[in-house]
Amino acid sequence: MSSREKVNILMVDDQPAKLLSYEAILEELNENLIKASCGKEALDHLLRCDVGVVLMDVSMPDMDGFELADMIRQHPRFQNTAIIFISAVHLTTLDRLHGYARGAVDYISVPFDPELLRAKVAVFSELHRRTRQLETLNRELEQRVSERTAELEMRTISLKTLNEELLLRNQQLDAIVTTAPDIIFSSAGAGDRDYISDRFYEYTGAPAGAAIGQGWLEYVHPEDVVSIQKKWEHSVENENEYESEYRLRGRSGEFRWFRARAIPVRDSTGAITKWCGTCADIHDQRLLEQSLRECGLFGKDSARADRCTSPIVR
C-alpha cells in the first residue's frame, strides 16, 4: 500500500438511511467506502477486499453485530481489523463489554458527534495504512535479505571453488618446483632473493635459508660476482629480462657453470613487483663448446685433432 492509497472502510447496517448518513459523514476522509446491508454481504466484501475498518450496527436481523464480529475475528486475515460498533439500543456497560470482548476497538452510542466518528475512523484508517506500508517494507526487506543471502552463498561457493583450484594449482606448482632439475628463484626489485628452491641447497650444501637475500652470492665464484651484479643492475634499470652465466660452488667444493634467466612480474599498474627465474646447470655444455673452439678445423690439424680426442679435464 502506497503512502496515500485509499483504505477500504466497510459500513454494515440493515437500514439504508443509516448507511447513507455514515457515507455522508466519512466521505471527507477520501477513503474507499463500502456498504453492506447484512452480515452475509459484509463477509463477502471482507473475503474480496483488504478492509481496514469495519463500522457496524449491533442490532441486525439474521446475524447481529456481535456474531459478525466473532466470525471476522476467526479469520486469520482479520485478526487486527479495526471494528467499531454503533448502537442505539444496546447501551449498557455489559453491552460495551460484550463488544470489546469480541475485539472491538470502540463502541459508540447513538446519538453521536459526526466529527468524533470521523476522527476515530480516520485514526484507524491511517493506522491500517501505516501497518500495510510496514508489512510491505518488511516483505521487501526480507526479499532483499534473501537475495543477499543467496548472493553470499553463491560467492561462498565460488570462493570455495577458487580456493580448491588454487590449492590444486599450488600443489601442481610445488610438484613442478620440487622435481625440476633447475634451480628456481624469485627476487625483489633490488635483486635480493626472497625464494630459492631446494635444488640450490641440494647442490651447494648450504644451510636452509642461507641463500635468502644476498646470501646466495657466497656460493658464486668470486670472479663472477661483479659481472652478475652489473647485469642485474642493468636489467632492473631498463626493466628487461635478466640473463647471466656464472659458476656456483657445489658441496664438494668444485665450481660448475650455471645460466640464470629471470623476467619481471608486474602489477596492474605495470610496476615491477618482483623477478622470477631459473638457474640451469650448463657446465657440460660450456666444456663441450670450449673443446670445439680449441679443435678449430677438426681432422685437418693433427695436433688439434689429438687435443679433441684427449680426455677433458674439469
Question: How does residue 290 score in pLDDT terms, banded at 50, 70 and 90?
Answer: confident
The answer to whether the CB of 69 falls within 8 A of the CB of 82 is: no
Asked if 246 and 282 touch (Cβ cutoff 8 Å), the reply is: no
* Of 164, 255, 253, the residue nearest 245 (C-alpha): 255
Q: What is the mean pLDDT of residues 137-141?
A: 92
Residue 180 — very low, low, confident or very high, per pLDDT cuts 50/70/90? confident
CA distance 65 to 294: 123
Q: d(Cα 258, Cα 184) in Å, to the nearest integer? A: 12
Are 125 and 53 contacting, i.e. CB atoms less than 8 angstroms apart? yes
Confidence of residue 312 (pLDDT cuts 50, 70, 90): very low
Q: 180-281 belongs to which homologous superfamily?
A: PAS domain (3.30.450.20)
How is the chain split into domains, by residue range?
Answer: 8-137, 180-281
Q: CB under 8 Å, gap of 24 or more: what pairs does 209-216 form? A: 216/185
pLDDT bin (cut points 50, 70, 90) of residue 90 is: confident
As a whole number, mean pLDDT of residues 266-272 equals 89
The pLDDT tens digits for 66-82 are: 899 999 988 888 888 99
Per CATH, the homologous superfamily of domain 8-137 is: Response regulator (3.40.50.2300)
State pTM to two decimals.
Answer: 0.50
**What digits encode the pLDDT tens for the residues 189-207?**
666 889 999 999 999 999 9
Rounded Cα distance between 217 and 264, Å, is: 20
Asked whether the predicted pLDDT for residue 5 surpasses 90, the reply is: no
3-state class of 224 per DSSP? helix
The rounded mean pLDDT for the chain is: 87
